[in-house]
Every structure is written in C-alpha cells, then in structure tokens.
Structure 1
C-alpha cells in the first residue's frame, strides 16, 4: 500500500520517517540519506552514493556509512546492474515500506485498543456495571464495521438523553439507523493513520 502511494507520488514519506524516527532506530544522517534516496528514486532508480553525496552536499564517505546502516537494518537493498557496459547501483525500497506498514498497523491497533477502553468506560458508567463478554464483543464489532469512536459516543449520548433506560441494544439501533443517513466510512488500511501519510 505505502509503496504504491509512493510510486503514485502521493506519499508524505518525510512525515512517515519523522513519525517513526525512534522505532526505525535510524541515525539522523541515515534518515536524511533515506529521504534523499526517496527524493531522487522516481527520476533515477539507479542513483548511487556519488550522486547522493552531491545532492546532499556531504562527503561520499558519510553517505556510504549511512547506506551501510540502512542495509544492515534491511530498509533498502542494493543490486549491481549493467548499464551501457558499466555496473551501477540499483536500489530496492520495498523493505522500508513493508517495515512502515507494520508500524502503521501497530499504531492503528494501539489507537483501536484505546478507543475500545474509552467506549467501554462510558458504557459501564451509564450501565452502572461491568460489561459482559458479549457486550465487549459488540463494541469490537462496531469498530470493525467502521464506526468511529466519536460516532459510538454520540450514539451513547443520544440514547442517554432520549431513552428512559439505558440499554446497549438502543445504542446499537441508533448506530445502524444513522448508517442510512451517511455512507459507511470503512475500516480498510488507507483510513485513519494510513490516511495521514497521503500528501494533501
């Protein structure tokens, strides 16, 4: 997904690298070299350390040191290919995108877990008891169906204000009645945290 967005020119890869700078465990120099590779890859997939050094205004030795770091962390792969009778470097960036997709999925899961805890807390406050296993599964189902935390909390608030007694079934009914008034947002990978990486 991310590599496809990058190839379309739609990926904010600088934001992606900054966002996960600590989890990627890159030195600042390696981060800048990686950004420079991504800057140039569209126009020159066979960019090499000499070209990168000139582009960045750094010595070739500094750039090569960072490239070794990127290789050791398996964020890039380099193959030597023959071009006009000469061998030249060819970069593969797929490992970097795969790693970032994994990190984004982990972040998405963390956000969903936080949302579930927040929703469960509000429901238990209104029901004045702990949720049953079936009720906990219901909350997860809402999120899996593409309902956002805000939509669920709005439905809870509506039921609280308009019904004589608070019941989870009423919240469920309100959520899916509202589905007829607005299109489902979906819960695929491009939504939520993934959408933050798309250039505006």
Structure 2
C-alpha cells in the first residue's frame, strides 16, 4: 500500500520518516540520505552515491556510510544492473515500505486496544460490574464490524438517557438501529497516523 502510494506520488514520505524516526533507529544522516533516495527514486532508481553526494551536499564518504547503515538495517537493497555497457547501482525500497507498514499496523493495533479499554471502562461504570468474557468479545465484534469508539460511546449515552435499566443488549440494538455507516476497519482500516501520510 505505501509503496503504491509512493509510486503514485501521493505519499508524504518525509513526514513518514520523521514520525517513525525513533522506531526506525536511523541516524540523522541516514534519514537524510533515505529522503534523498526517495526524492529521486521514482525518476531514477539507478542514482548512485556520487549523484546523492551532489544532490545533498554531503561528501561521498558520508553518503556511502549512510547507505551501509540503510543496507545493514535492511531498509534498502542494492543490485548492479548493466546500462550502456556499464554496471550501475539500482535501489530497491520495498524493505523500507514493508517496515513502515508493520509500524503502522502496530500503531493501529495500539489504537484499537486503547479504544477497547476506554469502551470497557465506560460500560463497566454503567453496568456497575466487570464485563463478562462474552461482553468483552462483543466490544471487539463492534469494532471489527466498523463501529467507532465514538459511535459506541454515543450509543451508550443514548441508552443511559432513554432506558430505565442499562443493558449491553440495548447498546447493541442502538448501534445497529442507527443508519450511520462507518468505514470498515479490518485490513482496510486507515489509522489517523496513516491518514497523515497521504498527500492532499
């Protein structure tokens, strides 16, 4: 997904690298060189260390040191290709995009865990007891079905105001009687962080 967005010119990869800088574990120079490679890659995947040095104003040795770091961390791959009878470096950036997608998935999972905790807390407060296993599974089912934390808490609020007794079944009924539709989460769920990566 990220690589496809990048190839379409729709990915803010500079923001992506800045947000994930600590998780990526890259030095400042390596991050800078990676951005430079991404700046040029779509037009010239065969850009070499001399070109990068000229483009960034860094020395060739600094560029090569950063490239070695990127290779060791498996963010890029280099292969030699023949061009006009000469061997030329060609970069592959798929490992970088795969790593970032994994990080986005981790963040998405953390967001969902936080949503579950928040919903769980509100439901327990209203039920005045701990949730049973089936009720915890119900929360996960709601989220998997595309219901957002905000929609669930809104349904809780409606049940509190309109029902004499607070029941999970009433919350469930309120959620599914609503005509609102929300984007499916599952594999297609776009986290708030992911949305920041897409250029307007």
TM-score of the two chains, using structure 2 as the length reference: 0.96
1:40: which partner in 2?
40
Superposed displacement of residue 98, structure 1? 0.6
- Checking the alignment, whether the CA contact within 8 Å between 2:183 and 2:189 is kept in structure 1 is no
Long gaps (5+) in structure 1: none
- Distance in 2 (alpha carbons) for counterparts of 1:33 and 1:100: 17
Asked whether 1:63 is paired with 2:66, we answer no
Superposed displacement of residue 15, structure 1? 1.1
Superposed displacement of residue 161, structure 1? 1.0
Superposed displacement of residue 174, structure 1? 1.1
Q: What RMSD, in angstroms, separates the aligned Cα atoms of the two structures?
A: 1.0
2:182: which partner in 1?
184
**Is the partner of 1:126 in helix, strand or coil?**
helix
Q: Deviations over 1:93-112 (max 9, x none)?
A: 00000111111101110111
2:23: which partner in 1?
23
- Checking the alignment, whether the CA contact within 8 Å between 2:11 and 2:197 is kept in structure 1 is yes
Large movers: runs of 4+ above 6 Å: none
- Checking the alignment, whether the CA contact within 8 Å between 2:148 and 2:182 is kept in structure 1 is no
Alignment length (residue pairs): 198
Asked whether 1:169 is paired with 2:142, we answer no
Closer/same/farther in 2, CA of residues 189 and 53 from structure 1, 3 Å limit: farther
Superposed displacement of residue 190, structure 1? 5.0
Asked whether 1:78 is paired with 2:78, we answer yes
- Distance in 2 (alpha carbons) for counterparts of 1:190 and 1:95: 22
Superposed displacement of residue 197, structure 1? 1.5
**Is the partner of 1:17 in helix, strand or coil?**
helix
**Is the partner of 1:79 in helix, strand or coil?**
strand
- Distance in 2 (alpha carbons) for counterparts of 1:90 and 1:109: 35
1:110-189 maps to which residues of 2 (within 5 A)?
Answer: 110-178=110-178, 180=179, 182-187=180-185, 188-189=187-188
Superposed displacement of residue 191, structure 1? 1.5
**Is the partner of 2:131 in helix, strand or coil?**
coil
- Distance in 2 (alpha carbons) for counterparts of 1:132 and 1:168: 11
Asked whether 1:51 is paired with 2:51, we answer yes
Q: Deviations over 1:41-78 (max 9, x none)?
A: 11111111111111111111100100000000000000
